[in-house]
Amino acid sequence: MAGIKGITVLGSTGSIGLSTLDVIARHPQRYRVVALTANRQVERMVQQCLHFRPSYAVMSDAGAAEQLSLLLREQGCDTQVLAGVSGLEQVSALPEVDYVMAAIVGGAGLPPALAAARAGKRILLANKEALVMSGALFMDEVRQSGAELLPIDSEHNAIFQCMPPGFERGLAETGVRKILLTASGGPFRSLPVEQLSQVSPEQAVAHPNWSMGRKISVDSASMMNKGLEVIEACWLFNTGPDHIQVVLHPQSVIHSMVEYSDGSVLAQLGNPDMRTPIAHALAWPERIDAGVPSLDMFAVARLDFEPPDMQRFPCLRLAIEAIQTGGTAPAVLNAANEVVVEAFLQELIPFTDIPRIIEQTLERLPAQPASDLETIFAVDGEARRLASTLIPG
């Protein structure tokens, strides 16, 4: 173990952020928190600053930054408070930062994740939306700067653990036949399809196996999450959707698998606890305690598998079509999804409008080459505006 590592945790007040700080707190001799960031949860950020004493804290919201600054001064904490996207980018590229946990939800996480990539950091990527929006450009930045990209998404972390050395050169070249991406199927896996239009936000965010932020919980219920993960896997593992098979596995014990040309299938198993992939990526290639108990195989007892139902889950089809189309199509898909998920959470649209409005947005904004970031951000804004106009009322 070489020296203490400085860490920035983007989105430290969220579900992944909290799990990350839990792992870091177990290893004070290995990791030092340099910066924490949040949108506007001031109270939680005050507690985190008092506990971890970071050099910087960033609030995206300027008002929240002012509030935080006052409260920290009252408590005698000398953490420097920054605000906005420029603050997020700044703490992702500081020389004293070795690792950046990218755990902001949605497209808002892309600019600081890119800043970390450009600065050649080890990026612990939870923010899958960043790769969905700008996979080709993001991977280029990583390669050019020599940054290390380690997946936190449990499936991609599992795949990474099962991959052969040198997989970046291409799956076929390194003896991999395909990736088996597992999915729990979420809370509506076996609900009668005709009842899907009636489900409430509370039902949608009540995931059977994982406790997560609200947006990704709705994505899991619609299986857009799995669609975004197919796209994420294409970029991370330098492959296409034809080499990725989605497998419903309701127990969420196998986190994904890799099949080799000799017929071997390697799987990574564990309790559904994000501290395992977080600890893996923090310590890689070493292993550290994550605070996760042993998997009780006798309590698990059985593992079930079934193919996904594409009629029930049109979002999965839309995401696979978007990566097949390429260019800006995945960015449009992601932007429209963020808008409709928020509308569903605010009870403005029924659950079944989620794929309907995304599909309409994709139809009205034909894909163009995703040649630079300006194009991506412009298309992202356009898709958000268009999707908003398709929300009734």
- The binding site for ligand NAD (CB under 6 A) comprises 11-17, 38-39, 41, 60, 103-105, 108, 126-129, 153, 210, 212-213, 216, 274
Q: Judged by CB, which is closer to Mg ion: 37, or 154?
A: 154
Return the one option of Mg ion, ligand NAD, none that residue 171 interacts with (CB less than 5 to 8 A, by type): none
- Which backbone phi and psi does 197 adopt, to 5 degrees? -70, -15
DSSP string for 199-257: --HHHHH--SS----HHHHHHHHHTHHHHHHHHHHHHHTT--GGGEEEEE-TT--EEEE
Return the one option of ligand NAD, Mg ion, none that residue 260 interacts with (CB less than 5 to 8 A, by type): none
Number of other residues whose CB lies within 10 A of the CB of residue 333: 29
DSSP string for 12-32: TTSHHHHHHHHHHHT-TTTEE
CA dist., res. 210 & res. 184, Å (int): 9
Tell the smallest beta-carbon distance from residue 244 to ligand NAD (Å): 17
Return the one option of Mg ion, ligand NAD, none that residue 57 interacts with (CB less than 5 to 8 A, by type): none
Return the one option of Mg ion, ligand NAD, none that residue 38 interacts with (CB less than 5 to 8 A, by type): ligand NAD
CA dist., res. 142 & res. 124, Å (int): 12
**Number of residues located near Mg ion, criterion CB under 5 A:** 3
SS3 at position 341? helix
Q: Which of residues 140-159 bind Mg ion (CB under 5 A)?
A: 153-155
Q: Judged by CB, which is closer to Mg ion: 82, or 126?
A: 126
Looking at residue 234, its amino acid is C
Tell the smallest beta-carbon distance from residue 336 to Mg ion (Å): 20
Q: Judged by CB, which is closer to ligand NAD: 3, or 204?
A: 204
Task: Give me 206's structure tokens.
Answer: 């009540």
Return the one option of ligand NAD, Mg ion, none that residue 126 interacts with (CB less than 5 to 8 A, by type): ligand NAD
Phi-psi domain of 10 (left: phi exceeds 0; alpha: psi -120 through 50; beta: other): beta
Question: Which residue number has the CB closest to Mg ion?
Answer: 153
Q: Judged by CB, which is closer to Mg ion: 55, or 225?
A: 225
Q: Judged by CB, which is closer to ligand NAD: 164, or 295?
A: 295
Closest CA to 128 of 148, 157, 93: 157
Return the one option of ligand NAD, Mg ion, none that residue 141 interacts with (CB less than 5 to 8 A, by type): none
Q: Which of residues 153-192 bind Mg ion (CB under 5 A)?
A: 153-155
Give the end-to-end CA distance of the chain in Å, rounded to a whole number: 58
Tell the smallest beta-carbon distance from residue 155 to ligand NAD (Å): 8
Tell the smallest beta-carbon distance from residue 392 to ligand NAD (Å): 25
Q: Judged by CB, which is closer to ligand NAD: 126, or 181?
A: 126
Q: Are 224 and 314 in contact (CB under 8 A)?
A: no
Q: Are 128 and 228 in contact (CB under 8 A)?
A: yes
273 binds Mg ion (CB under 5 A): no
Question: Which residue number has the CB closest to ligand NAD?
Answer: 14
Tell the smallest beta-carbon distance from residue 210 to ligand NAD (Å): 5
Q: Judged by CB, which is closer to ligand NAD: 60, or 161?
A: 60
Q: Judged by CB, which is closer to Mg ion: 219, or 259?
A: 219
219 binds Mg ion (CB under 5 A): no
Closest CA to 27 of 292, 287, 288: 288
Q: Are 42 and 64 in contact (CB under 8 A)?
A: yes
Residue 135 DSSP symbol:
H
Helix (H), strand (E) counts: the chain: 16, 11
Residues of this chain that interact with Mg ion (CB under 5 A) are 153-155
